[in-house]
Each structure stands twice: as C-alpha cells, then as structure tokens.
Structure 1
Amino acid sequence: MSDVNARLSQLVSENEVVLFMKGTPLFPQCGFSSRAIAILDHCGVAYESVDVLQDMEIRQGIKSFSDWPTIPQLYVKGEFVGGSDIMMEMYEAGELQQMLAEKQVARAE
C-alpha cells in the first residue's frame, strides 16, 4: 500500500488542484463526478483529474489516503477539501471560490 500512497502523495503535491473522479472531465462516469467538474469549471481554475476507474489501486488507495470513503475527492494545494457535496456547499456559500483565491490557484486557460 505504501507504493500507492507514494503515488497519491506525488499527485497531490505536484498539482495545485487535483480531482480524483470516476471518468474524465469530458466523460464523467457518475453524477457526483459530473457535479464536481461543473463546480471546478465554474470557478475557472486549472485542475488535474485522475480517473479512478482506470486504476484499482488508486481507487482503493485514495479512500484510505484521505480517510474519506467516497469518490470524487478534491485536493487543493495538497489539502483534502472533500467530495462533491462539500464542494457544492462551499461553492454555494462562496467559500470554495474564496479558498481558491486565497491559495492563489492558477486560472484555467
């Protein structure tokens, strides 16, 4: 499991914003992942996505890495933010946009 944790740690540390999701941004494979992508797109930030359906080690490993049982999972500047419900609550309250601005996350091109 430590190899998976090392891979996850590298993904989270090398990218300002990482979304572990089912599917891809162009073809999400579940409603929660689709909603998470829509929120990030509305925020206008650059992000990396990881399709957990393509790698079972990542799919299982991310759950213990974050101590969070569901996917999608959002990380910003190495910090676990939460899943799509938390993203939605934060977005609707303006907290997600504020956090992204405070952390000076790069804008999407």
Structure 2
Amino acid sequence: MNPILQTKIEGQIKNSKILIYMKGNAAMPQCGFSAATVQVFSSLGYPFDTVDILEDPEIRQGMKEFSNWPTFPQVYLDGEFIGGCDIVMEMHQRGELEPMVREVMAKASEPA
C-alpha cells in the first residue's frame, strides 16, 4: 500500500473513537448495509464519524487492503477493526456492542 495512503487511513482511525467507512454518510447512506450500520450506531446514542468511500476511490481500495476485509461498511472502535454490517448486527442483537461502545466513549472522556 502507498505509505501516504496508509498514514492517512491510520490517522483517520486514530482520530475517531467510532469510525465507519461506508458508502455515503450518516445523513445519506448509499447502500442498505451502510444504512443498517448507521441505524445501529445512531440507536446507541453516541457520536460517531463516517468516511464516504464513494468520494475517494483510493480510500475505498486502500481500506480493503488495510483491513483485509473486502466489503463495506467497515467499523472501527477505538482503533480496532470490528467488522462489517453482519458482525455489527450480530453483536448488537446479542447485547455485546453497546457495552463496548460505552467503554470506548468513557475512555475518551477521561482526562489525559
């Protein structure tokens, strides 16, 4: 992978506690999987960031290599790759996602 692109991706992930690489954005998802993932995170009530892979073909291709995951959305919590829509949905249904998100956001609000 291009080192400049890798640095850009690493920076995006590092600077966001909850980051979703998706088709479209939170206000206007461009596919059903992205919409479902946004809906889950919106229901949890914590702020999250999105990167629209349709606006940047280099990021779109680079993320597949970076995460070793071929599809979108791709969700990162506190710098850790969680997975795509199916995994997020399963974790949410089992009650595992909300405690993880709560912990990540609690750590974010602690003084440095």
Q: TM-score, normalised by structure 1?
A: 0.93
Who is 1:7 aligned against? 8
CA distance in 2, matches of 1:102, 1:27: 28
For the residue of structure 2 that corresponds to 1:103, the secondary structure is helix
* Cα shift at 1:104: 3.0
CA deviation digits over 1:52-109, x for unaligned, max 9? 0000000000111111110100001000000000000000001000111222356xxx
Structure (1 or 2) with the larger CA radius of gyration:
2
Moved more, 52-61 or 93-102: 93-102
Who is 2:86 aligned against? 85
Identity among equivalent positions (%) equals 42
CA deviation digits over 1:31-63, x for unaligned, max 9? 000001000001111111000000000000011
Which 5+ residue runs of structure 2 have no aligned equivalent? none
CA distance in 2, matches of 1:70, 1:2: 22
RMSD: 1.4
For the residue of structure 1 that corresponds to 2:71, the secondary structure is coil
1:63-102 alignment to 2 at 5 Å?
Answer: 63-102=64-103
The residue type paired with residue 38 of structure 1 is Q
Which 5+ residue runs of structure 1 have no aligned equivalent? none
CA deviation digits over 1:8-51, x for unaligned, max 9? 00000011110000011111110000001000001111111000
Paired positions, count: 107
Would you identify which runs of 4 or more consecutive aligned residues in structure 1 move more than 3 Å?
Answer: none
For the residue of structure 1 that corresponds to 2:105, the secondary structure is coil
